Amino acid sequence: TVQRGRMLCAPRIWPDLGGSRVLGTMGILTLVLCSCSGQPVSLPWDLPAISSWEHQGGLVFIHTESSLYSLPCSPIEMEVADPTYRWVQDRAAPKLFSVTKEGHLLFQHFQAGDSGKYSCTISYMKHGVPVSQTFHYSVFGYHVLGGLDTVLLFHSKLCEDEWTKRFLGVLQDKLRQLEIEQHCRLQLTATFCFPSLNNPSDEFLIQVQLEVSLFGPHWDEHCNSQDTETVTDCYRKTVQHNLRKVQFALTRFLKEHKSFHVTGADVPSINFTNQFVGFLKTKQCSGGYGQTKQLQRCLNCCIVCPPGMFSPPKNSQCSPCPVGTYSLIYGMAYCTPCKDSMITRVPGASSMTDCVKKERTKQAVSIVHRIPVLLLIILPALLAINFIFILSSCYCFYQEYQVSSPRASKMTGSTTRMETMTSFFRIPRQGPQAGPDAGPASDTSHLDTSASQGGDEEGTHGAPSPAVTLNLATMTGETTPVLTLEDRKDTF
């Protein structure tokens, strides 16, 4: 408000509201008062906006089949006047919430599907200004480990599906009262029928497998604490206590109900006699749950699998849904397949919209499959280009070598001929530099004439002149003899 008042003290042009000059006059008076007093003033029509805040409430873990769990709107106590509360959940299907007057969201008999993201908005007035605060929570279901696998064996005269179904219906009706007394759940998982070893033609054995869950109605009636660590310890103790109770109660029940009578139109009565009962304590997760490290106070607890993941019964890990399947809600034991001619691009799909037509995927897959073929086409072309480049380089080098080679051979031949001529015309103590005492001109002229004739003759064949020959001889290091006057006399 103070900042707005200071802004109003700056010169501005007041708008004409509805043609009335009253507000314009009030604006001018306000400007005058601001400039005179130096105090910030807010105009009556410039009301402050609604204040709102967003908060992350954190993770909330609620045990499966909790009798009652109360989630407050705000994680801290807020003393506000006449607040209103509004709870929403990020799910497509609308759901009715049970909210107390204090704004607490109530969960009764919490199920895996109740997990999700919840938001609570508390609205109230503060100094005449509407204020709202929204708190976001991620709610996960979990359960502590503990259960029973039970195997029952019954003798019977018949091994037909119709009579077996009737017998199982009678057995489940009898066990329903036991579930209520022991606060547990008994679920039939499998049934087998095979001939008896004693009398295979007249007697059969019916094997019934039951899975005992200790989280029945009001199983946690002794655990009322809202503290996660305290209530988790209470859950563990309750599970261990109920394991022994349920095992003893089921054994006593089968002793009291030794035989079950099933009647029908064709056969008056068939007895299914109990012969054996066996128990196996299990410490595995229920379907739709997996062990993670999200709940630090209970690392061996099983956490519900989020959308896009699943966990079959007695599997301790949540896995992404395979390609072609998806899971929409929390706690799925199996993923839902896409419709015909539909498939997902990647594993872990959490929406039906992730399913697309197979043609698109096939087109992408065909492109991937074509990549090796393209490589097979492009690679030989690249190799051929490289080979041609190497051949052309070698040919250019060979041509350059051929051009330089005749010159070298010609120079070598000229040097050989020059050495031959030097040795042939060599006269002892005679050289081109005769000096001023050289002999008669006839002798030198004869030598020069012969040399010049020989040079001309050799020149026609590409040989150098005698001057060049003598210079080359000098360059080769041979000492040319000098003809003196005494030597010439000796010669005569």
What pTM, to 2 d.p., does this model score? 0.61
Q: What is the pLDDT of residue 161?
A: 86
Q: Which two three-digit tokens encode residue 401?
A: 């070598």
Q: What is the pLDDT of residue 432?
A: 42
| Mean predicted confidence (pLDDT) in 179-207 | 88
Higher pLDDT, 444 or 347: 347
- Is 50 exceeded by the pLDDT of residue 315? yes
To 5 degrees, how large is the angle CA 410–CA 411–CA 412?
90
Q: What is the pLDDT of residue 401?
A: 67
| Mean predicted confidence (pLDDT) in 250-260 | 91
Q: Which helix (H) or strand (E) holds 113?
A: none
- Whether residue 288 contacts residue 309, with contact meaning beta carbons closer than 8 Å, is answered with no
Domain boundaries, the chain: 51-142, 147-281, 303-360
Higher pLDDT, 72 or 379: 72
- Give me the residues paired with residue 117 across strands: 138
Fold of 51-142: Immunoglobulin-like (2.60.40)
Domain over 303-360 is classified CATH 2.10.50.10: yes
Tell me how long the chain is. 492
Compute the CA torsion angle 386, 392, 394, 397 (nearest 10 deg).
-140
Higher pLDDT, 210 or 365: 210
Q: What is the pLDDT of residue 415?
A: 52
Q: What is the pLDDT of residue 406?
A: 52
- Give me the residues paired with residue 59 across strands: 138
Q: What is the pLDDT of residue 24?
A: 40
- Is 90 exceeded by the pLDDT of residue 209? yes
Q: How far apart are CA 34 and CA 344, in angstroms?
A: 67
- Is 70 exceeded by the pLDDT of residue 424? no
Could you tell me the pLDDT band of residue 381, with boundaries at 50, 70 and 90?
confident
Quick check: helix, strand or coil at residue 215? coil
Concatenating the DSSP letter of every residue in 211-266 gives: EEES--TTTTTT-----HHHHHHHHHHHHHHHHHHHHHHHHHHHHH--EEEE--SS
Closest listed residue to residue 342, CA positions, set 370, 329, 361, 321: 361
| Mean predicted confidence (pLDDT) in 68-82 | 89
Concatenating the DSSP letter of every residue in 316-373 gives: -S-EEPPTTEE--SSS-SSPEEPPTTEEESSS-B-SGGGEEEHHHHHHHHHHHHHHHH
| Mean predicted confidence (pLDDT) in 398-407 | 64
Q: What is the pLDDT of residue 404?
A: 59
